[in-house]
Amino acid sequence: MATKNPTAAGRIATLQLKPGADLPVLTASLPPDFSRADVGRVSAHAFDLISKLTGHPCLSGRFRFEIEDVFVNRAISVDLAADKLILG
C-alpha cells in the first residue's frame, strides 16, 4: 500500500525508472540500515510496479531490477561457507 506522505514514515526506500543500454532499469535505493525484510518489501513493490507498467504478471524480460549499492567504493563479498558478509 502506498503512503500519501512518505516523509511521515521516517525510513523510506525509493524506486526510480531509468533508461538502460538495452532495457529500462528500475533501481531501488534503500536506507543504509536496511534489513532482509526491507529488501523483500521493496522487491515486492518493484515487481508489482513492473507488472503494472508492462501489463504482465511477471518481469518478462522487459526491465532490469537493481538494488543500488549504498557502500560506495567498498567491496562486499559473501562468505558462503560461514554465511556472512565480508566488508573490505
Name residue, grid cell 500500500: 1
Q: How far apart are CA 75 and CA 59, in angstroms?
A: 29
Given a contact cutoff of 8 angstroms between Cβ atoms, the answer to whether 46 and 60 are in contact is: no
Mean pLDDT of 63-77: 68
- State the DSSP H helix or E strand holding residue 38, giving kind and residue range, or none if neither: helix 36-54
Q: Decide which of 62 and 9 is more confident.
A: 62
User: What is d(CA 8, CA 19) in angstroms, rounded to the nearest whole number?
Assistant: 30
Residues 13-32: pLDDT tens digits? 889 998 988 888 888 888 87
- pLDDT, one tens digit per residue, over 18-67 is 898 888 888 888 887 888 999 999 999 988 888 888 887 776 668 888 88
Statement: residue 88 has pLDDT above 50: yes
Q: Which three cell numbers stand for residue 17?
A: 525508472
Asked if residue 74 has pLDDT above 60, the reply is no
Choose between 21 and 5: higher pLDDT: 21
Distances (CA, A) of 32 to 10, 20, 23, 39, 70: 13, 25, 27, 12, 6
